[in-house]
Structure 1
Amino acid sequence: MNMLRGVPRTVRLLALGAFLNAVVSFTFVYLFVYLVGPRGLTVTQAGVISGVGGIGLVAGNFTGGWFGDRLGHRRALLTGACVSGASLVVLPALPVAALYAVLPVAQYAAGVVRAANAALVAVSVSGGGRRQSFALTRFAANGGFAIGPPLGALIAARFSYDWLFVADGVGTLLFAAYAARILPARGSAHSAPAHDPDAPGVWRELRARPAVLVLLAAIVVVDLVYRQQYSTLPVFLADHGHSTQLYGWLLAINGGVILCLELPAAHVLRRRAPLGLVGAGLLLVGLGYALLIPGAGVLFAAAMMLSLTLGEILYKTPATAYVADQAPGHAQGRFQSLYAGASISGQVLAPPLGAAVYASAPALLWPLCALLAVGAGAAVLAARRLPGRGERRQVAAEEPPIETGSPERAPAG
Structure 2
Amino acid sequence: MRGWFGQAVGGLPRQFWLLWTGTLINRLGSFVVIFLAIYLTADRHFSQSRAGLVIGLYGVGGAIGTTVGGVLADRWGRKPTMLTAQFGAAALMLALGFAHDYGQILAVTFLLGVFTEAVRPAFSAMMVDVVPDRDRVRAFSLNYWAINLGFALSAVGAGLAAKVDYLLLFVVDAGTTLVTALICLIFLRETKPTVVVKQRDSGGMITVLRDRVFMTYLLISAGGIVVMMQHMSTLPIAMTSEGLSAATYGWVIAVNGVLIVLGQLFVPRLIDGRSPARVLALGSLIIGVGFGLTAFAHAPWFFALTVIVWTLGEMIQSPSNATTVAALSPPSMRGRYQGLNSLGWSAGTALAPIVGGLTQEHLGNAALWIGCFAVCALVAVGHLAAAPSRERRIRLLGPVEPVLDEPTIPVPAVAEPVADAPPSHAR
Distance 1:101 1:192 in 2: 37
Distance 2:308 2:347 in 1: 23
Q: Larger deviation: 352-361 or 21-30?
A: 352-361
1:71 is aligned to 2:82: no
Distance 1:349 1:134 in 2: 26
Q: Give the CA deviation at 1:397.
A: 7.4
Measured against aligned partners, the alpha-carbon deviations of 1:294-339 in whole angstroms (never above 9, x if no partner) come to 2433343122111211111111111111111221111111111122
Code of the aligned partner of 2:119: V
Q: Which residue of 2 aligns with 1:124?
A: 130
Q: Which residue of 2 aligns with 1:139?
A: 145
Tell me: CA distance 1:373–1:208, structure 2 relative to 1, closer, same or farther (3 Å). Answer: same
Structure 1 unaligned residues grouped into runs of 5+: 408-412
Q: Larger deviation: 274-283 or 362-371?
A: 362-371
Tell me: CA distance 1:388–1:295, structure 2 relative to 1, closer, same or farther (3 Å). Answer: closer
1:165 is aligned to 2:167: no
The runs of at least 4 aligned residues of structure 1 exceeding 6 Å deviation read 191-197, 391-394
Equivalent residue for 2:331, pick from 321, 329, 332: 329
Distance 1:303 1:397 in 2: 40
Q: Which residue of 2 aligns with 1:410?
A: none
Tell me: CA distance 1:286–1:162, structure 2 relative to 1, closer, same or farther (3 Å). Answer: same
Q: Which residue of 2 aligns with 1:386?
A: 389
Q: Larger deviation: 79-88 or 62-71?
A: 62-71
1:357 is aligned to 2:363: no
Q: Which residue of 2 aligns with 1:45?
A: 50
Q: Write the mapping of 1:76-225 to structure 2, written as runs, cut at 5 A.
A: 76-94=81-99, 95-158=101-164, 160-184=165-189, 188-190=190-192, 198-199=200-201, 201=203, 203-204=206-207, 210=213, 212-225=214-227
Give the SS at the match of 1:163: helix
Give the SS at the match of 2:273: coil
Distance 1:360 1:259 in 2: 37
Query: Contact 2:59/2:346 (CA < 8 Å) preserved in 1?
Result: no
Query: Contact 2:26/2:177 (CA < 8 Å) preserved in 1?
Result: yes
Query: Contact 2:11/2:408 (CA < 8 Å) preserved in 1?
Result: no
Q: Write the mapping of 1:358-373 to structure 2, written as runs, cut at 5 A.
A: 358-363=360-365, 364-373=367-376
Code of the aligned partner of 2:220: A
Equivalent residue for 2:61, pick from 44, 49, 56: 56
Q: Give the CA deviation at 1:129.
A: 1.4
Q: Write the mapping of 1:309-320 to structure 2, written as runs, cut at 5 A.
A: 309-320=311-322
Equivalent residue for 2:273, pick from 260, 266, 271: 271
Code of the aligned partner of 1:127: D
Aligned residue-pair number:
401
Query: Contact 1:279/1:377 (CA < 8 Å) preserved in 2?
Result: yes
Distance 1:39 1:294 in 2: 40
Q: Give the CA deviation at 1:356.
A: 2.4
Q: Give the CA deviation at 1:190.
A: 4.2
Distance 1:249 1:387 in 2: 39
Code of the aligned partner of 2:40: L
Distance 1:316 1:179 in 2: 25
Distance 1:348 1:342 in 2: 10
Give the SS at the match of 1:293: helix
Tell me: CA distance 1:373–1:60, structure 2 relative to 1, closer, same or farther (3 Å). Answer: farther
Q: Give the CA deviation at 1:31.
A: 0.5
- TM-score, normalising length: structure 2: 0.86
Distance 1:16 1:390 in 2: 33
Code of the aligned partner of 1:2: Q
Tell me: CA distance 1:393–1:317, structure 2 relative to 1, closer, same or farther (3 Å). Answer: farther
Distance 2:195 2:98 in 1: 39
Distance 1:325 1:387 in 2: 9
Equivalent residue for 1:3, pick from 2, 8, 33: 8
Query: Contact 1:70/1:192 (CA < 8 Å) preserved in 2?
Result: no
Q: Give the CA deviation at 1:367.
A: 1.8
Query: Contact 1:82/1:176 (CA < 8 Å) preserved in 2?
Result: yes
RMSD between superposed Cα atoms in Å: 2.9
Distance 2:39 2:338 in 1: 33
Q: Which residue of 1 aligns with 2:417?
A: none
Q: Give the CA deviation at 1:392.
A: 7.4
Measured against aligned partners, the alpha-carbon deviations of 1:8-43 in whole angstroms (never above 9, x if no partner) come to 111111111100110111111111111111111111
Query: Contact 1:70/1:193 (CA < 8 Å) preserved in 2?
Result: no
Equivalent residue for 2:29, pick from 16, 21, 24: 24
Code of the aligned partner of 2:299: G
Give the SS at the match of 2:295: coil
Identity %: 27
